[in-house]
Amino acid sequence: MTLAKFASFSAAGGQGYGLVTDQGIIDLSRRHSAKWPTLREVIADGTLTRLADEAASLAPDLSLADIRFEIPVPAPEKIVCVGVNFPDRNEEYRDGQAAPANPRAPSRVMNSR
Question: Model confidence over 56-89: pLDDT tens digits?
Answer: 999 999 999 999 999 988 888 877 776 665 666 6
**CA 24 vs CA 71, 76, 81, 90, 108: distances in Å:** 18, 25, 29, 36, 33
- Considering the entire predicted model, what is its pTM? 0.72
For residues 35-45, give the mean pLDDT: 95
For residues 11-27, give the mean pLDDT: 94
For residues 104-111, give the mean pLDDT: 70
Whether 2 shows a pLDDT value over 80: the answer reads: no
pLDDT band at 9 (very low <50, low <70, confident <90, very high): very high
Q: What is the dihedral of CA 1, 56, 44, 14, to 10 degrees?
A: 130
